[in-house]
């Protein structure tokens, strides 16, 4: 595995900057302002989110399954699929933290420890680990099953001990899918157990009302709670401002890039099939594409190193 350090210099402060510390600052020292992380599913969508100026990104597992494997979010993605994808995304801009989906942690305590260490070395700043069984599914589908609270606790404990062993600041987000399976009270017990095992942030998957959102934030305080804003899933749609008022501290929008991509791609391809025209905007030539994915920066690196080949691109 390529080892990429998430460190760059932090001009003016004298202390080394890491995206993991940056994420901790955004969550814990940001005057209660909610962290909004749009879902990105590949390098291109991540570059667009960076261009728009988000200060945190979220690598969706559902989007990774769809884009990297062409499969549904049903536990197809392995640790290597996810880690490799996360590493590429996390290192596009070494100043912007990436929270990445880590599903169930991909096995028993040793595998969870390995997952945490791999994500850390790949430059990921935060990861979420859940209590679904290994053959998991999207949290907004029916028929989910969860492991026991003891097994879930051992996943979170394994992650937190691994973090300590390797001296990482990665943010551990404990997710429970128990709400649909065994109800709110059991889900709360699982999240409380996860905090005792070292989770920094908790994530109650599939909340079904705003009131439930407010309640979980109150019960779990002062532990920050993440809201998963899957539009048209189990959770009512909310703006970041509303979520912040309910007490949430992080909000992910897993489908923020992949849903518009679906409609735009379909429209272009239908146009091509039906009348031979893609309808691509005039401004979108090769340069626009490559500038979106770092052409200028690459030219600069080449020029600074004394290269001449990219000057006339």
Ligand X SMILES: C[C@](O)(C(=O)O)[C@H](CC(=O)O)C(=O)O
Applying CB under 6 A, the residues found at the interface with ligand X are 39, 60-62, 73, 101, 138-140, 205, 228, 230, 233, 254
| 237 exposure class (CB count in 10 Å sphere: 0-12, 13-18, 19+) | exposed
Residue reference for tokens 């609270």: 149
To ligand X, the closest distance from the beta carbon of 58 in angstroms equals 7
Annotated active-site residue in 73, 87, 177, 200: 73
Q: Indicate the residue among 61 and 105 with the shorter CB distance to ligand X.
A: 61
**Pairing mode, if any, of strands 35-40 and 57-59?**
parallel
How is residue 279 annotated by DSSP? -
Residue 106 bears catalytic tag: no
Residue 205 bears catalytic tag: yes
Question: What is the spatial distance between Cα 278 and Cα 198, in angstroms, rounded to a whole number?
Answer: 51
To ligand X, the closest distance from the beta carbon of 205 in angstroms equals 6
Annotated active-site residue in 87, 103, 177, 200: 103
To ligand X, the closest distance from the beta carbon of 36 in angstroms equals 15
Residue 101 bears catalytic tag: yes
Residue reference for tokens 């305080």: 221
Residue 30 bears catalytic tag: no
To ligand X, the closest distance from the beta carbon of 72 in angstroms equals 9
Q: Indicate the residue among 97 and 139 with the shorter CB distance to ligand X.
A: 139
Q: Indicate the residue among 132 and 153 with the shorter CB distance to ligand X.
A: 132
Residue 58 bears catalytic tag: yes
**Pairing mode, if any, of strands 35-40 and 250-253?**
parallel
CA proximity to 45, closest of 59, 34, 31, 32: 59
Annotated active-site residue in 42, 101, 131, 177: 101
Q: Indicate the residue among 18 and 106 with the shorter CB distance to ligand X.
A: 106
Q: Indicate the residue among 18 and 207 with the shorter CB distance to ligand X.
A: 207
What are the φ/ψ torsions at residue 173 (nearest 5 degrees)? -110, 115
Question: What is the spatial distance between Cα 16 and Cα 66, in angstroms, rounded to a whole number?
Answer: 36
Could you report how far apart the first and last alpha carbons of the chain are, in Å?
A: 32
Residue 197 bears catalytic tag: no
Q: Indicate the residue among 123 and 233 with the shorter CB distance to ligand X.
A: 233
Residue 138 bears catalytic tag: yes
Annotated active-site residue in 41, 58, 106, 119: 58
What are the φ/ψ torsions at residue 14 (nearest 5 degrees)? 80, -10
Residue 110 bears catalytic tag: no
Which pair of tokens denotes residue 237? 């749609």
**Cα 252 to chain center, whole Å?**
7
Which pair of tokens denotes residue 39? 């879902």
* Cis bond upstream, residue 222 (ω within 30): yes
Tell me the residue length of the chain.
313
Residue 103 bears catalytic tag: yes
To ligand X, the closest distance from the beta carbon of 262 in angstroms equals 14
Annotated active-site residue in 93, 177, 200, 205: 205
Annotated active-site residue in 22, 85, 93, 228: 228
To ligand X, the closest distance from the beta carbon of 228 in angstroms equals 5
Catalytic residues: 58, 73, 101, 103, 128, 130, 138, 175, 205, 228
């Amino acid at each position: 595995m390529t080892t990429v350090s998430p460190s760059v210099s932090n001009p003016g402060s004298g202390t080394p900057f890491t995206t993991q510390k940056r994420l901790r600052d955004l969550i814990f020292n940001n005057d209660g302002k909610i962290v909004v992380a749009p879902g990105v599913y590949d390098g291109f969508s991540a570059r667009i989110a960076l261009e728009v100026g988000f200060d945190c990104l979220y690598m969706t597992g559902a989007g990774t399954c769809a884009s990297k494997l062409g499969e549904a979010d049903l536990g197809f993605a392995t640790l290597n699929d996810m880690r490799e994808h996360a590493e590429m995304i996390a290192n596009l801009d070494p100043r912007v933290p990436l929270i990445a989906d880590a599903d169930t942690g991909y096995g028993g305590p040793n595998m969870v420890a390995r997952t945490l260490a791999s994500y850390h070395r790949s430059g990921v700043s935060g990861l979420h680990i859940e209590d679904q069984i290994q053959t998991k599914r999207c949290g907004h589908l029916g028929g989910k099953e969860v492991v026991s609270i003891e097994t879930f606790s051992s996943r979170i404990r394994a992650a937190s001990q691994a973090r300590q062993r390797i001296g990482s600041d990665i943010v551990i987000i404990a997710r429970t899918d128990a709400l649909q399976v065994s109800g709110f009270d059991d889900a709360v017990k699982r999240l409380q157990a996860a905090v005792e095992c070292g989770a920094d942030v908790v994530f109650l998957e599939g909340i079904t009302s705003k009131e439930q959102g407010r309640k979980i934030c109150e019960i779990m305080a002062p532990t920050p709670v993440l809201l998963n804003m899957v539009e048209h899933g189990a959770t009512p749609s909310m703006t970041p401002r509303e979520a912040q008022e309910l007490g949430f501290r992080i909000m992910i929008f897993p489908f923020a890039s992949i849903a518009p991509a679906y409609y735009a791609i379909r429209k272009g391809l239908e146009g091509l099939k039906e009348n031979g025209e893609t309808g691509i905007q005039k401004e979108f030539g090769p340069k626009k594409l490559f500038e979106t994915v770092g052409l200028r920066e690459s030219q600069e690196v080449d020029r600074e190193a004394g290269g001449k080949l990219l000057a006339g691109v």
